[in-house]
A and B are shown apart, each in its own frame.
Chain A
Amino acid sequence: MDLLFGAMNLGLICTFLVVGICLTYRIYDFADITVEGSFTLGGAVTAVLILDGIHPVLATFFGALAGAVSGMLTGLIHTQFKINGLLAGIIVMTGLYSINLHVMAKSNIPLMSLTTVVSILNDMNPGIHSEVWMFMIFLPLIALFMFFFALFLKTDIGLTIRATGNNQVMVAANGVNVNAMKVLGISVSNGLVAFSGGLLAQYQGFADIGMGVGVFVFGLASVIIGEAIFRRSQIWKMVLGLFMGSLIFRLMVALALYIGLNPIDLKLVTAAFVLATIIFSQKMRTRPKLTSKKILIPAVIIFLGILGIFVAPFIKSYFVQKHNYTIAVVLFNESDILVITKDSMIKRLNELGYHDKENTKVIVKTANSDMGMLNTIIDELKVSKPDVFVTISSQATQAVYNKVKDIPVVFATVANPFILGIGKSDTEHPSHVTGVYGSFPADGMLDIVEKILEGTVRIGEIWNPGLANTVFSINVLKNELNKRPNFMFEGVTVSSSNEVLQAATLLASKIDAFVLVPDVIVFEAFSSIASTAKKRKIPIFSSDIEKLKEGSFIVYGYTYKQSGIQAAELVHRVLNGERGIPFERYKKLILGINLDVAKELGINIPESVLKKANQIVENGALKEYDMEQSSLPLTQMTKMRRVALFMFTNNSILDTTAKGIMDELQRDSFDKRTGIEITELNAQGDNTLANTLVKKIIDSQYDFIITVSTLALQAVAHNNRSIPHVFCTVTDPVEAGVVKSFQDHPHYLTGIATPQPVESTIKIMRSIFPSAKRIGIVWDTSQVNSEYCTKKARKASISYGFELIEKTVSNVNEVDTAVKSLISEKIDIMFTSGDITVISVIPSIAKLMEKYKIPYITNNPADIGAGVFGALGADYYEVGTRAAGMLKELINGKKAVDLNIENYVPERLHINIELAKKFGIVIPKSILDQASTK
């Protein structure tokens, strides 16, 4: 019931959005992205006005008006400055983000305890199920609106608006100011969209800065569904189509989630759906006679879909085995802190005897930061009739609290439930709700700062005002600072992680210490703050306890594990029938001190502070004291250590190395015995992706890294400052700029260098081809490695009496031309050494060389399979096993700093005898004896 009617109510509310989008996109043929901003603006203005005590109906109206003004802006930019409509929309949408934040003054406004249009309707509810009641009210109201909208399109001005979209030349000739009409239409459209936003805020019980994300395509999908049902032939049908489209789209989303579609895929599926329908309807336009089929097919799908919603619960309950308890867990997104909370909660539940899939069913759903989806997820979860809802994050808590009245709710990782409108104090709150919360311990943190730094302390703060929890923490901090005259506050706000470095640099000249409140955006870029702080010798006091080893001086804060543990214990009590359980604060605070940083800064830490520390970092090692986290006993988890095997791309050398590594690590079940888990990450030759992957490796705190290839080494070395790292299949790490020498390397970094045996190769060329003169080589100038090989080849060529003909390229597409120009210059031998760009196309070069009967020599034995004449090179499988051997030593407790980098070239010569015969070349016996395979 909840899922079905909840989805339909969302659909009804979104009708205005759909009509707005149809107005611009269909009638004006203008994709107006402004809606993503004006939708939020409508919600924001409505929420703020309701908060100020304005009547909700009036507030919603003003919200729509604000949306109309923003639309007008887009229209004016588009028509007056002749800026492309899409661009104009993007500009206004971007600007609106800031405006919305200003309007709301925070990122989220709860409306739950206030009088809203929805609460007024609910008060009139004669006792019907609330979603059904809402539907009964909304349906006629919105049907009435649609009736008037259709009527409007038939008025003189409505006709003019439609004609403007249909034929601009014609309306201009008939005295219509096309620009004015466009501005009017876009304004009306955004007004409707904002109206939708205002209603949604009241329906879901809060306005949020992110509520507009993705609404354009979702709205468009509804428009398109509507058109699939009814041709746009008549106004009445068009309007009815929009109405149905909005409803059906929401029902389809609900259905998709219900049958188990991963919410992460929802946007992809929607995008594909919109694309497919647009292409389909374009095809239909050219063959307009197939109308009956066109109506029939979607109709059947829709019918089955709706049927599915009704039938699915029965089927599901029939097949799914009965569990004693069902626990529904809702996360707003998959950010680290929420996932940590969830994982530790599930672990603790396990210890308390709730085993998932045995006596308990734990359903975890993530909304991917999407408000609409959050609501749908909740409706969907209600269908499974859980015994308790666990909400992790403020947004999830708020949404569930608003929708769930009869099932117990336990929240966790919430800064302050009271600003969300849930209860008044730890003991005064609805009895079905309980949970665990805690915000930034400003008083304790400032106490510590005071004890360590003397005199007046100027503290610097970086935060994102778009995060409700952060803003709350900042307020707590500021309140605390007001009581302490010896502190001065300097703050810089950011809206994304990219701005953090700049903010830190800006602050550094003005402050004595960084004091960082919880802020997921800022902590994502913690390394920028750490590097700035290190340069300027400023201590960092961090609330994120995970950042102790990454350059913080002091960490002081809650652990989100604790949040999960306490939540699990509350769930246990709730399942045992307790109600009205008081809210809890986090019980455990962690104080961590990094003595290495203290030494660098030259700060002495008073004994009184040292004594309280739970974590101390000294000489790069972390020691933990008194880590018992709960009053109830915990079993010790054997810690899985994770190894990241990072590759930049795939080619025969790198793949062979990787195989060597994996085989060695798995030999005699080493990985299982030592509890390591190896994850292979491959950047597929993409620099940006490589960076993202490296960031992921570092953020998710892998215990070890092993890289294959120079580029992989460079990408990791550039970002990594602490994780033990072994590299291999690298020509020269000194040349690559990651180490000073084989002995002097960062304490966490070591590995093996495998220079291409360029000199021996050229020497062998001389013995096989006594009369050859010219060696051709193609190399990519952007690769350090390749430059190194080419330099060596130049030298060796002179020593053995060859002339080296070089052709340079900058990407793989140029290789073919370069090779052909070498052929035209009559080279006697073609040579490829350690150049990744060229290596990737060795098979095609080999084919070309065979055609022109030019012997092709490379430095990778595996190339024989690709058709080269000969190869002298390291056996990269052995290189891989050797590197893995080094990694094993680290896993067994050795430090990277104690393992020197070594050169390791297990040389192997391979000759392609068949080709030699074909070319009529006789290989000297002495060489043949050297060759390991023929």
Chain B
Amino acid sequence: MIHIENVSKYFDKGTSNELLALDNINLEIADGEFVTIIGTNGSGKTTLLNMIAGTIYPDEGRIVLNNTDITKYPDYKRASYVSRVFQNPFSGTAPDMTIAENLMIAYKRGKIKLPIIGLNRQVYSFFQKEIIKLEMQLENRLDTMIGRLSGGQRQAITLLMSVLIKPDILLLDEHTAALDPKTGGQVLKLTKEFIERDKLTTIMITHSMQQALELGTKTIMMYKGRIIDVLHEHEKQTLTTDDLLDKFADLRKKEKLTDEILDELRKEYL
């Protein structure tokens, strides 16, 4: 259960470039919910995700996870609750270390590291069992340097690492955007399987309206640092991508969106 209460964030506050990246966001996500976020560039989706991960701190408001106020926790301290998969498939793994060693880092996520060899036979075979699920024939290549693998393989491993120990909340930041459609689909399929298996509370930013509608229990639309609409599961089933665009078109009247923005949305999501 995560509460985001009245969270605002400015970038370059006090300068001529001041930007209100998040504008009084309120959001509540219950355990087991799978939320997708859509929005244009600069709408604040990644900022919101980073705020939850703890790489940036809000200027106002607070973030409460399972009744603990984690607003002031740095990212490494939140890592015991929160796990992440990045858009860049190279961000989530250490290239000069083996697959097993990378998995070991994830296996110890949020725990104290001691000068003992934790990567013993038992743990190693556990990793082997887990990596079979990726269906990428990596189970016998655990001692390969990650740097030698393809982007799709690395992203799949990052995903596996993020769920190796069940997180309280899983953050996915357009994690299939940088992959080719085939591997992207493969990683997305894995994502669904893992989320369903562990009933993970998930927030996923996506660049595809199709994905946003098909996946998840709730879809959030963001624009200029604000949540402009929340679609619940029952609404989503009846909606098409055109309906979503119409929603943005409706907003145009209300919010005085320009045609260029509408064009931008079309381009980005269709």
Contact = CB atoms under 8 A, between A and B. Distances in A.
Interface in B116-132: 116-119
Contacts of A178: 76
B84 A173 contact: yes
Contacts of A155: 114-118
B222 interface: no
Contact of B96 (A154, A166, A173): A166
17 contacts: A152-B115, A156-B108, A162-B101, A166-B94, A166-B96, A167-B93, A167-B95, A169-B91, A171-B94, A172-B55, A173-B79, A173-B83, A173-B86, A174-B83, A175-B76, A176-B113, A233-B145
A296 to B, nearest CB: 23
A311 interface: no
Nearest to B162: A173
A157 B113 contact: yes
Interface in B87-106: 91-97, 101-102, 104-106
B151 interface: no
Contact of A163 (B55, B105, B119): B105
Contacts of B79: 172-176
Interface string A720-757: 00000000000000000000000000000000000000
A157 B114 contact: yes
Contacts of B111: 175
Contact of B113 (A160, A169, A232, A233): A160
Given A155-B114, A169-B86, A232 B55 contact: no
Question: 9 shortest A-B CB distances, which residue pairs?
Answer: A175-B79, A166-B94, A175-B110, A156-B113, A157-B113, A163-B94, A156-B118, A167-B94, A174-B109
Interface in A175-202: 175-178
A171 B105 contact: yes
B53 interface: yes
A232 B101 contact: no
- Identify whether the interface residues of A are mostly helix, strand, loop, or mixed: helix
Given A154-B119, A156-B116, A157-B115, A175 B96 contact: no
B115 A162 contact: no
Contacts of B60: none
A171 to B, nearest CB: 7
A156 B92 contact: no
Given A159-B105, A167-B94, 5 more contacts: A156-B115, A163-B105, A167-B93, A174-B79, A175-B109
A158 B109 contact: no
A584 B106 CA distance: 72
Given A169-B86, A173-B83, A173-B84, A159 B95 contact: no
B80 interface: yes
A922 B145 CA distance: 84
A163 B98 CA distance: 11
B214 interface: no
B5 interface: no
Contacts of A151: 117
B33 interface: no
A162 B84 contact: no
Contacts of A167: 91, 93-95
B243 to A, nearest CB: 36
Given A162-B94, A173-B75, A156 B104 contact: yes
Contacts of A166: 94-97
B81 to A, nearest CB: 10
A170 interface: yes
Nearest to B80: A175
Contacts of A232: 96
Interface string A887-908: 0000000000000000000000
Nearest to B100: A159
A159 B92 contact: no
A176 B117 contact: no
Contacts of A152: 115
Given A170-B94, A175-B79, A159 B119 contact: yes
A152 B53 CA distance: 31
Contacts of A174: 79, 83, 105-106, 108-110, 161
Most buried by B among A159, A170, A173: A173
A239 to B, nearest CB: 14
A167 B119 CA distance: 20
Interface in B139-191: 145, 161
